[in-house]
Amino acid sequence: MQPPQNRSLDKLSSYQPAIVAKYFDELGIREWERLTQTPADEVSLAIHTHYLKEYLSNSDRVLEIGAGAGRFTQVLANLGTKIVVADISSGQLELNKSLAVEHGFEDSVEDWQQTDICDLSGFEAESFDVVVAYGGAFSYVLDKRDLALQESLRVIKPGGMLFLSVMSIWGTVHRYLDGVLALPSAINQKITESGDISPTTFPARQDNFMHLFRATELRQWLEQTGVKVVQLSASNCLSLLWDRQLEKIKQDREKWNELLRMEIEACADEGSLNMGTHIIAVARKP
Ligand SMILES: C[S@@+](CC[C@H](N)C(=O)[O-])C[C@H]1O[C@@H](n2cnc3c(N)ncnc32)[C@H](O)[C@@H]1O
């Protein structure tokens, strides 16, 4: 089987920044709520946070790109880092700023800048210890993901780190199987073959286009740039389809913590990497 990035359909899906910005402008405050709405969302927040806690130090200067309303800006601030917040959506940037003030973490933010991850020319080379792009910025840029990765690595200091999470093709099928099987199979096959939800593979869709990764594809894509992939993890696998039961488990601190302990280990197991809606990667620039 050909690696997904070499397949012909992949070339036809082109990134349109205005559509992405409009989509997230309109989503508004729902972006702040996206990781706290259900217990499975909270597990996702905990797994993403776990890796920031494990690798970041409080002296780090961080570029958070695709920061959205700021759930992880708050985490980064709590870890003592200094953050430049960037996003393609002016609406999300405004929300990020007002939520930082409301929750008292605005002093940790050096600046808020409307920026496309494909063009970080506003930032000097090697000026950040860390780039964080959680929540799919590398998925939303479709065919421009190589450029986005090149730009992100350019602004990281040697020895610095990149944290990202992208959408997962099989994890999304796992989570939304009903909806996936409701699509005509010809469309489905184009999406699963290319990993792209784009005007080419799904003409009826108007926005929220993205590239969904396989774990092996993500690893190869990162490694071909010379970075060391220090961690891959699904987000999430064990808890993904158990929301109703988890509401009760959440009330029992001990059980909830045990779930999180198992999730962190299970999600990092090679056999689970494709089973969450997202795949997290932590990479170190040489
Ligand atoms: C799903 S939200 C995630 C927000 C936040 N990082 C989180 O994980 O909760 C994706 C964010 O990425 C931003 N985004 C999408 N494409 C981008 C691009 N090309 N450059 C910068 N930001 C982008 C969107 O505007 C949105 O705020």
pLDDT tens per residue across span 241-282? 999 999 999 999 999 999 999 999 999 999 999 999 999 999
Report the pLDDT value the prediction gives residue 269, as an integer from 0 to 100. 98
**Number of domains into which the chain is organized:** 1
d(CA 172, CA 148): 23
Which among 25, 87, 121, 150 is the best mutation to test ligand 1's pocket, defined by most ligand atoms within 8 Å of the CB? Answer: 87
β-pairing, 82-87 vs 109-114, is parallel
Q: SS3 for 15?
A: coil
d(CA 220, CA 229): 9
How far, in Å, is the centroid of ligand 1 from the Cα of 251? 31
d(CA 253, CA 269): 25
d(CA 120, CA 279): 23
Residue nearest to atom 27 of ligand 1 (CA): 68
Residue type, 286: P
How far, in Å, is the centroid of ligand 1 from the Cα of 134? 8
Contacts with 269 (C-beta within 8 Å, 6 or more apart), sequence order? none
User: 121: closest CA among 99, 142, 148?
Assistant: 148
CATH of the domain at 43: 3.40.50.150
Report the pLDDT value the prediction gives residue 129, as an integer from 0 to 100. 98
Report the pLDDT value the prediction gives residue 4, as an integer from 0 to 100. 46
Report the pLDDT value the prediction gives residue 182, as an integer from 0 to 100. 96
d(CA 73, CA 100): 8
Query: Where on the phi/psi map is residue 135: left (φ > 0), alpha (ψ -120 to 50), or beta?
Result: left
Residue nearest to atom 6 of ligand 1 (CA): 67
Please report how many Cα atoms fall inside a 13 Å half-sphere around the Cα of residue 108, on the Cβ side: 27
How far, in Å, is the centroid of ligand 1 from the Cα of 258? 31
Report the pLDDT value the prediction gives residue 7, as an integer from 0 to 100. 44
Phi then psi dihedrals of residue 227, to 5 deg: -75, 155
Report the pLDDT value the prediction gives residue 141, as an integer from 0 to 100. 97
Residue nearest to atom 8 of ligand 1 (CA): 135
Report the pLDDT value the prediction gives residue 11, as an integer from 0 to 100. 45
User: 40: closest CA among 257, 241, 176?
Assistant: 241
Residue type, 47: I
* Structural domain that includes position 51: 4-284
**For residues 155 and 131, is the Cβ–Cβ distance under 8 A?**
yes
Report the pLDDT value the prediction gives residue 13, as an integer from 0 to 100. 66
How far, in Å, is the centroid of ligand 1 from the Cα of 136? 6
User: 164: closest CA among 110, 123, 107, 221?
Assistant: 221
Please report how many Cα atoms fall inside a 13 Å half-sphere around the Cα of residue 77, on the Cβ side: 21
What does DSSP assign to residue 69?
T
How far, in Å, is the centroid of ligand 1 from the Cα of 245? 30
User: 154: closest CA among 133, 137, 131, 138?
Assistant: 131
Return the ligand 1 atom nearest residue 140 CA: 16
Which among 15, 16, 20, 123 is the best mutation to test ligand 1's pocket, defined by most ligand atoms within 8 Å of the CB? Answer: 20
Report the pLDDT value the prediction gives residue 16, as an integer from 0 to 100. 93
How far, in Å, is the centroid of ligand 1 from the Cα of 27? 11
Residue nearest to atom 15 of ligand 1 (CA): 137
Pocket of ligand 1 (CB under 6 A): 20, 24, 31, 34-35, 65-68, 71-72, 87-89, 92, 116-118, 134-137, 140-141
- For residue 163 the two structure tokens come to 């944290």
- pLDDT values of the chain reduced to their tens digit, one per residue, 286 residues: 344 444 444 444 699 999 999 999 999 999 999 999 999 999 999 999 999 999 999 999 999 999 999 999 999 999 999 999 999 999 999 999 999 999 999 999 999 999 999 999 999 999 999 999 999 999 999 999 999 999 999 999 999 999 999 999 999 999 999 999 999 999 999 999 999 999 999 999 999 999 999 999 999 999 999 999 999 999 999 999 999 999 999 999 999 999 999 999 999 999 999 999 999 999 999 9
